[in-house]
Amino acid sequence: MLSARGLSCIRGERRLFSEVDLVVNPGEWVHVRGQNGVGKTSLLRILVGLASPDAGQIYWDDAPISACRDLYHENLLYQGHYACIKDELTAIENLRLAAGLDGVTLDEDRAMRTLGRFGLRGREELAVRNLSAGQKRRVGMARLLSRKATLWVLDEPFTALDTAAVDMLAGVLSEHVAQGGMVVLTSHQPVPMDNGRVLDL
């Protein structure tokens, strides 16, 4: 279980948000919404431990994440707004590199199947620089299936995706939640998934 209690974030002289509480149990997902500049990305960075809150605490199974950092990170997969892929590498090289950085051995067959699931069949060996913006996003999102992580924290995962890709990614997220996973995401567009909760900042 992920929980946050009384989170506050100040940038410069501006308070982005305060007293934010959040609980995500296995099999649940949360859509963080708000206008540009209200602190959605800042909240996600705080939740994954990349930034510290100005007040409040984050817990993993009721333990502060500062006290169980390694365990928390083993169960966490964070995908920021940018794909963080290398243009000079192929799609399959990028996916296998990301898996290696996550401490996962990803053989070529599994990598090919994963990229195929994300609509990249026939493009696995192309340098990422030759892919469209949406295809690059798909390469980055394929990381979701390259390792086992209970909690997925995703910043604008549907950006630059066409309608078919949005539906495909929503299906992947729904499967993860149905299998007991947890998702926290931001999105400026409606999320085609059922039974989520909304946190408005």
Predicted pLDDT of residue 107: 86
Phi, psi of 145 (to 5 degrees): -100, 5
Phi, psi of 119 (to 5 degrees): 75, 25
Q: How far apart are CA 144 and CA 185, in angstroms?
A: 13
Predicted pLDDT of residue 90: 93
Strands 151-155 and 76-79, sheet pairing: parallel
For the chain, which residues make up each domain, given as ranges?
1-75+149-201, 86-148
Altogether, the residues listed in the chain come to a count of 201
Give buried/exposed letters for 23-59 (b at 16+ CB in 10 A, else e): ebeeebbbbbbbeeebbbbbbbbbbbeeeebeebebb
pLDDT in tens, 96-125: 888 888 888 888 888 899 999 888 988 989
Q: Is the pLDDT of residue 13 over 80?
A: yes
pLDDT in tens, 126-184: 899 999 888 898 898 888 888 789 999 999 999 888 888 899 999 999 999 999 999 99
Q: Take residue 96 and report the two structure tokens written for it.
A: 């296998």
Q: How far apart are CA 48 and CA 103, in angstroms?
A: 18
Predicted pLDDT of residue 81: 77
Q: Which CATH number fits domain 1-75+149-201: 2.60.40.420, 3.40.50.720, 3.30.565.10, 3.40.50.300?
A: 3.40.50.300
pLDDT in tens, 19-36: 999 999 999 999 999 998
Distance between start and end Cα atoms, the chain? 21
Predicted pLDDT of residue 18: 94
Give the DSSP letter of residue 26: T
Predicted pLDDT of residue 60: 96
Q: Take residue 98 and report the two structure tokens written for it.
A: 């990301």
Please, are residues 137 and 109 in contact by the beta-carbon 8 Å criterion? no
